[in-house]
A and B are shown apart, each in its own frame.
Chain A
Amino acid sequence: MNKWNRFKAVPIPKQPPQVRIYNFNEVALGYSEEQALMEAERCLQCANPQCVLGCPVEIDIPTFIRLIKEGKFREAIVKIKEKNNLPAICGRVCPQEDQCQKYCVLSKRGDPVQIGRLERFLADWEREHNVEIPEKKPSTGKCVAVVGSGPAGLTVAGDLAKLGHEVVIFEALHEPGGVLMYGIPEFRLPKSIVQAEIEYIKRLGVTIKTNILVGRLYTVQELLSDEGFDAVFIGTGAGPPIFMGIPGENLCGIYSANEFLIRVNLMRSYLFPRWDTPIKVGDRVAVIGAGNVAMDASRCALRLGAKEVHIVYRRSRTEMPARKEEIENAEEEGIIFDFLTLPVAYHGDESGWVKKMECIRMQLTEPDETGRRRPVPIEGSNFMMDIDTVIVAIGRRPNPLIQQTTPGLRVAEDGTIIVDENMQTSIKGVYAGGDIVTGEATVISAMGAGKKAAKSIHKYLMGNK
């Protein structure tokens, strides 16, 4: 073990790259108790902690870290759960480097305190040592319907149940969890952990009904008028994948990242044929885009046996929107990055399978007024890449069904639902939050929205008693 140094983070043990590319097990293995204590020791217990300002749900970070130092793991996790119902998830997938850890005073001199890893440590410790269910307020007799079981929906449901309301979550897919279940791969967020966190929400008294597509089976209006709910929360997230609209994009072998990841994660096609849903990955794979979704897709493709996986991105390294940690993981695993490259067409064989990807080289303009450098094509620089599989990961639109089937619901031009400062939509008693309101964002911001909506819904329900 390396020497303790206030300015150096305790490294997290990981599966070595040459091993992990052959399995779907978690990459980062988590701190041991000893490592957690060492890392907690680095925290200065600031009187005016900046880290808390960076956390969208305002976890009392110094206090939970102090409790770790004192070996009071149970108290520490209870402290976190006052604000965050899903710590095992946030500790793993929060972009901590842009949030809590970015503001930690230590980051001025060295590594910030690894708040996310400590949060994860506690959540994992608790799962192994029996999860305690907090006391619930007496029943209020009010019923809330939550549409969508992603982080926004789970959070709003958990908080409202604790306050004594009856809560039913309606989820269209066969497993609850939203992106946590169908999008983020096993090796970054094990499904058993998501399931355990969902189990906790259920134990708070929340009912989850899967296989129900709201907008088709019931409309939002019907939930209020016929099904007896007093309020509705819409947390339907992002869905429809964006394609580039270039020639050949519907050839076989071209997936949206959503399709690819749903097959791999939700349908476990990496276990095909033991599980029934197939997936096909050739030797040479191109992933278009450079966000978290692209990193996840590229690393899945590698684990499914691809020999060469390229991230094809029209800007340069510095503009990549993915988390730094995930870019590093991808690089360690041997993903190849093709920067300043834009696909313009796909060419297939006689049976309709993609074989070649035609690209054009890009260059970045001088920064404009906003400081952004735009990528522009270099005339005549077209070239061909041999390719068997393409995964398009350039973004997703908000799920549109509720907007289309709820008259009177105000919707922005980009399809997101408009809410006021209390997360209420243009319809009384109907609230919304998460990606369906903000467009694609983060797990923790969706949870933050869920927290806020729970407070407003509680106020609304108790006010009109």
Chain B
Amino acid sequence: MPEVFLSLLMITLAPAFLHAQNSAGEPSPVPIPADVQARLAGLLPESAEAGAKPASERQFYSSDLYRYIDGAADAFLGFDLVAMIHQEYETKDADITLDIYDMGKPLNAFGIYAAERSPSYHFLSLGAEGYVSDFILNFFQGQYYAKLSAFSNAGKPAPDLVPLAQAISAKIGTEKSMPAALSILPKEHLVAHSEKFANKSPLGHDFLSPAIEATYLIEGKPVVLLISKASDAAGAAGRVHQLRDYFSKSGKAGPGPDVVPGGFRGSNKYEGEVVFFSSGDYTVLCVNPPPQSDPFLKEVWDHLANPQVNSSF
């Protein structure tokens, strides 16, 4: 009987025990700073409907996130994860898991949020943006990305995750705007919820980092627009030359349409047909533009020339 009790006790206390390994210096080379821990713990909501499970809180740092979410950690690290907190809740009919990721800045939080969303989800007015799909609810707000998932008992419906999410949102604060960097994207023809932030290796190329991209519908066809941010205009022009060299070697490159002065056309079997040019600090790629896309390219050109467009990545 004592053996059974010991086993149950070990299982019950396992999360706390495993968290203690951090303080023992076991797998985590760098401890989570106390202020970060406190900040994340302060975001955990109290809920009348869902009670927090005892000892279920765990925190992970960039160096050991893969112990929690395995290979998925790479995506979060690609957006410079600071740390995350995990907490489990339970209601009468369901278990709920909450993960809040501190991504350091709003653009990074948007980046990982957008990487995991699909334009086909059901979107909510929650935080800066959020969505529900089956038993999950994800949203981002400020520098945080919150993920809630539920598992209902047999025969019970999925619980409403919105109240818990709203409680988290209130703790994060009142600022709920989208990252300012997204304003570099022209709004006309933009496919809703298709915007993405590529912090590392946009289109598989390191030299284009970082970049904002989105899908547009031009003549009924999807066109990907990628806007890469360099440190200055010379850097942006340099990226155009790198692209020209890349397409020359992997396919072909030639002069671009007149509406984008100094631009080029390129094509190969990897990216397909592209138009690329620089404007100020930006290098722009338009992937697979349809034949009559000059008005769209002109619109992009004019938009980037507008001094009102925010240039802070």
Q: Do A and B come from one complex?
A: no
